[in-house]
Amino acid sequence: MPKPAPVRKAVLPVAGMGTRFLPATKAVPKEMLPVVDKPVVQYAVEEAKEAGIEQFIFVTGRGKHVIEDHFDHAYELERLLSSREKTEQLNSLLEGLPASGSVSFTRQQRPLGLGHAVWCARHFVGNEPFAVLLPDDLLVGKPGALKQMMQVYDKVGGVIVAAEEKPLAEVERYGVIDPGVIKGNVIEVKGVVEKPKAAKAPSRLCVIGRYILQPEIFTELDKQDKGAGGEIQLTDSMAKTIGRMPFHAVTTTCARYDCGDKVGFLQANIAVGLSRPDIAPALKAILKSVKF
Ligand code: UTP
């Protein structure tokens, strides 16, 4: 197989309402909630950069402008830190910044679903393959999840989704894969169903928030068909491209935390905190002292 076209662009949909995390997300986007000391969305941008992404396309909505500010220079703050010789803090700001001109923002004017949010990025993506990262799904590991998916993409091309096996009781919250041939951590996808009832789920393999897609998906998304929950679902359009191009799922070695969920978010903070040498000793001591 000839080497597939490179994936240079990533779409980050951040226009969701975050109703599972109210009241915290009333005025603060859930993507800006910090895991230890970085907003959730920054982890996704770093993961994408590591995977070779050069262009970041955010699909935002009402009340999400602080995400734009986060990925911009903060001159007064930078000057203040520099004059006080707070080099470490200054570097932590500068390291997180994407290169000038590499970030674009478009707006999903109404939250009609993930498929609709991705469709809103169509003119920025153009006619080339692209990645989608849902920032509230925090994937922690080395190499990062998208890089692991890119390694598979370079061999098989087409569409790649990240997947995780879930207990049967949880599958109705996800897109669920009908698996074909399984080779190691790479699973051929024969079908995918959004939010099936447990009894009708084709497997327990659930799609999680990382995708490599082909521009043909926009032809399906153009139809604006509504699916589960009355939303325009990304899964439904992906499913329609099966048979027209290779479609695989990859189970990565990363740990996943659903930071759009209160318990998932707490778990992410504890896990990332415990992995950080500067925080772990104090955090361990606190956890040991907590009375249950
Ligand atoms: P979620 O399923 O987490 O939905 O979206 P939500 O609205 O953000 O949160 P809850 O369920 O009300 O708590 C998954 C991803 O899709 C984006 C979200 O921002 C998130 O990254 N999304 C979802 C959009 O950008 N637009 C939409 O219309 C829906």
Ligand 1 atom closest to the CA of 116, numbered from 1? 28
Full-model pTM = 0.95
Ligand 1 atom closest to the CA of 30, numbered from 1? 8
Q: Over the stretch 247-258, which tens digit does the pLDDT of each residue have?
A: 999 999 999 999
Tokens of 76: 């007064």
Residue closest to 128 by CA, chosen among 153, 148, 100: 153
- Ligand 1: residue whose CA is nearest its atom 3: 260
Q: Which of 40, 136, 234 to mutate to test the pocket of ligand 1 (most atoms within 8 A of CB)?
A: 136
Ligand 1 atom closest to the CA of 231, numbered from 1? 28
Alpha carbon of 270 to ligand 1 centroid (Å): 24
Alpha carbon of 38 to ligand 1 centroid (Å): 20
Query: Which CATH number is 9-289 given?
Result: 3.90.550.10
Q: Enumerate residues lining ligand 1, CB below 6 A.
A: 13-21, 59, 108, 111-114, 116-117, 134-136, 260
Alpha carbon of 7 to ligand 1 centroid (Å): 24
* CB distance 268 to 257 below 8 Å: yes
Mean pLDDT of 55-68: 93
Give the DSSP letter of residue 160: E
For residue 252, what pLDDT is reported?
97
Q: Does residue 61 have a pLDDT over 80? A: yes
Rg (CA), the chain: 19
* CB distance 210 to 137 below 8 Å: yes
Q: Over the stretch 279-289, which tens digit does the pLDDT of each residue have?
A: 999 999 999 99
Residue 1: which pLDDT band, with cuts at 50, 70 and 90?
confident
Alpha carbon of 101 to ligand 1 centroid (Å): 26
Q: Over the stretch 97-113, which tens digit does the pLDDT of each residue have?
A: 899 899 999 999 999 99
Q: Does residue 221 have a pLDDT over 80? A: yes
For residue 96, what pLDDT is reported?
79
End-to-end CA distance of the chain: 57
Q: Does residue 74 have a pLDDT over 80? A: yes
Percent helix, percent strand, percent coil in the chain, to nearest 5 = 40, 25, 35
Ligand 1 atom closest to the CA of 15, numbered from 1? 25
Q: Over the stretch 134-178, which tens digit does the pLDDT of each residue have?
A: 999 999 999 999 999 999 999 999 999 999 999 999 999 999 999
Determine the 3-state secondary structure of 162 from DSSP. strand
Mean pLDDT of 35-62: 96
Q: Does residue 220 have a pLDDT over 90? A: yes
